[in-house]
Structure 1
Amino acid sequence: MKNVDYIVVGCGLASISFCEMLKANDKSFVVFDDESQRSSKVAAGLYNPVILKRFSAVWKAKEQLALAAPLYEKIEAETQSHFDYKLPILRRFTSIEEQNKWFTASDKPLLEPYLSTSLVKNNNPSVDAPFGFGEVLHAGRIDTETLIANYKASLKQQDRLIEATFKHDLIQFEGETLGYESISTKQIIFAEGFGVKHNPYFKTIPLAGSKGEILTIKVPELKLDKALKSSVFVIPLGDDLYHVGATYNNEDKTNTPTEAAKAQLISKLKSFVTCDFEIVDHVAGVRPTVKDRRPLVGQHETHQQLYVLNGLGTRGVMIAPYVAQQLFRYIEFGEALNPEIDIKRFS
């Protein structure tokens, strides 16, 4: 019988952040993962403190960035890999009115650190942007596929990764401990993403799910060194490769790329990128989204050794360290969860 403090189910952004809390506090744990959930892997990976559609601040952006930056730096050092790329974002203006809205927003206290007050003129012949751009500061991109692959390799090396499907019906409740096959533990954290819909203990939490699709294109002429946001994001990856995305589909809950989404992305891209491009990849995944756009974190009302860490939506790379810290402090120190993320708000 193997004894650990925690079992963590899933190995996406939420799980990785929680595991780092466990390591920092000398807690023993194992992670179950069967690669069934793809949303973290196929994410564009931007961390962006501004909602660019309406020039407003992301919820708790300052707190999230303060935790995320050192965490990813620490994981890079531990895994001897590089996946955190500092990357300003250019928001393409479509009118003088949008320019004025941008500069009005830049005076607001929550946005002032992130919105440059200098108008960026367009000098790129492959981009149609007669009104120029506004620049978002303190933004970047996490290469989520590299992060997850290297983190899992590190867990495997430490004998902390179990590459198998977690079977919820095998949990044995034994007083203050839980049994699962040959493992004894004190708590189980379910960070399963949209897969929580198959979890009998948390399947009723109001997780909507939104399918997102992303293209990878090759464009030698484009020559962007910053991310570009117009009707879609264009995110430079190096070697003339770019992510283009993403779509939002609340009906389709599969991980299968579709021709309809591909056509939609191509149409939007062509509305402001004027040079030819080649599509080299097309991926899809279901994001764990919530109707009030806040995560779902908390404790099972009956089985109080079971917890959920989910609902990170479209901003997982920024919000994961914040919600992981919230849940860890709730479990270990009895600190109250922020009521805006507590699953009890839907009780």
Structure 2
Amino acid sequence: MTPKDYDYLIVGQGLAGTSLALHLLEMGKKVLVIGDSSMPSSTKVAAGIFNPLTGKKLVKTWLADDLFPYAQKFYGDLESRLNCKLIYSTPIFRPFRSIEEQNTYLAQTADPSISPYIAADNRTDLSHYVESRFGGLEVIQAGWVDLPLFLEKSRELLSELDSYMESTFALADLRVEPESVFWKDLSFGTVVFCQGFFGVNNPFFEWLPFAPVKGQILEVATDQVLPGYIVNQGIFMLPVKEHSMRVGATYSWDPLDWEPTDSGTAEINEKLEALIRIPYRITSASAGVRPSVKDRRPLIGIHPDHANVAIFNGLGTKGVTLGPFFARQLAEHLENGKELNPLVNIQRYFSLYFR
């Protein structure tokens, strides 16, 4: 068999592609990531929040007990390797909206599956900062990841390892044969598409039930020093510096573009005005398209007809924890045949391909 230039071609240097590349390199594989840093990316815009308890009913995030420790180690190890700060452990304060909600939530904290994620004393008082006349719940083992810095520093590392190429990707430049994959003048064992929203139109995988959703966030400045808490009540308020925070987010489906809108800004601002108790000013707005899926589970696995074509996509709103964990699963699946979690394996949708 003719030697290949690389074991893997990874198309896309977002959270999925970067995480997968780093895991494959750790396994001793030769990898080339194609990235176009001029293109919009949901990873660049995402707030990067990880929250173990979500929703109005205080539901534990899917696989939180596995995802969160793995993410902490993954980003923590990268911080040491890249000599930068990526992960910020920051509690989340959820103001109660009523006495009834207060009673319901506090009763739920006795659940042994939830209690590890609740502060022991739960006496946080942020009434000077946000509307919280009924108090609130402090969620721990939460925080955020600086995803733009993660992308930048990882790209530098991949470049040093001869594993990154800045380039636009055109499917016309790709040739898939039974034993090899060719892109331009290079040969590979396998191609993995990690294209986020742009994967919706990839002819290899356009049959998958993508459900992309646009989200907008605001950059907000204050003259007061912000408390060291993420506030989550209808919107999130994420302090990123002493006097600035990111606030969001909206959910919209038309149009699916990367442009912030006045209506999106107005929607977030209306919710922020009802929640915050200190003066603030909006400094900018940004928008991205989340690569979500109808069943809210990632799309991971090997093409039904091409054993050397794979996908890693659909990380949605929880990609900051899903990405590293399932990058490891996919790397072990590709290299060792280890079974993927059936809830993320694209085999669950093969009926759509063969119908």
Q: Which TM-score tier does this pair reach, normalised by the shorter chain?
A: over 0.9
Unaligned runs of at least 5 residues, structure 1 = none
Structure richer in helix, relative to its length:
2
SS of the residue 1:314 aligns to: helix
Equivalent positions of 1:1-347 (< 5 A) are 3-35=5-37, 36-221=39-224, 223-346=226-349, 347=351
Q: Are the aligned partners of 1:126 and 1:221 in contact in 2 as well (CA < 8 Å)?
A: no
CA distance in 1, matches of 2:49, 2:211: 22
CA distance in 2, matches of 1:83, 1:252: 32
Q: Are the aligned partners of 2:178 and 2:308 in contact in 1 as well (CA < 8 Å)?
A: no
SS of the residue 2:192 aligns to: strand
SS of the residue 2:316 aligns to: coil
Q: Are the aligned partners of 1:103 and 1:117 in contact in 2 as well (CA < 8 Å)?
A: no
Q: Are the aligned partners of 1:121 and 1:131 in contact in 2 as well (CA < 8 Å)?
A: no
CA distance in 2, matches of 1:196, 1:263: 30
From the superposition, tell whether residues 261 and 105 of structure 1 become closer, same or farther in structure 2 (CA, over 3 Å): same
From the superposition, tell whether residues 98 and 119 of structure 1 become closer, same or farther in structure 2 (CA, over 3 Å): farther
Alignment deviations for residues 87-106 of structure 1 (CA, whole Å, 9 cap, x no partner) = 01001111111112212222
Give the partner amino acid of 2:331.
Answer: F
Q: Are the aligned partners of 2:178 and 2:306 in contact in 1 as well (CA < 8 Å)?
A: no
From the superposition, tell whether residues 2 and 37 of structure 1 become closer, same or farther in structure 2 (CA, over 3 Å): farther
Alignment deviations for residues 74-128 of structure 1 (CA, whole Å, 9 cap, x no partner) = 1112211112111010011111111122122222232121123534353442322
**Matched residues, percent identical?**
33
CA distance in 2, matches of 1:251, 1:113: 39
User: In the TM superposition, what is the alpha-carbon distance from 1:207 to its structure 2 partner?
Assistant: 0.8
Alignment deviations for residues 248-278 of structure 1 (CA, whole Å, 9 cap, x no partner) = 1122210000000100000000101122211
SS of the residue 2:80 aligns to: helix
- Normalised by the length of structure 2, the TM-score is 0.94
Unaligned runs of at least 5 residues, structure 2 = none
Say what the alpha-carbon RMSD is for the aligned residues: 1.5
SS of the residue 1:271 aligns to: helix
User: In the TM superposition, what is the alpha-carbon distance from 1:186 to its structure 2 partner?
Assistant: 0.5
CA distance in 2, matches of 1:192, 1:11: 8
Give the partner amino acid of 2:237.
Answer: V
SS of the residue 2:275 aligns to: coil
SS of the residue 1:255 aligns to: coil
CA distance in 2, matches of 1:107, 1:41: 38
Give the partner amino acid of 2:182.
Answer: G
SS of the residue 1:19 aligns to: helix
CA distance in 2, matches of 1:121, 1:48: 18
Q: Are the aligned partners of 2:96 and 2:102 in contact in 1 as well (CA < 8 Å)?
A: yes
Tell me the number of residue pairs that the alignment of Structure 1 and Structure 2 aligns: 347
CA distance in 1, matches of 2:125, 2:260: 33
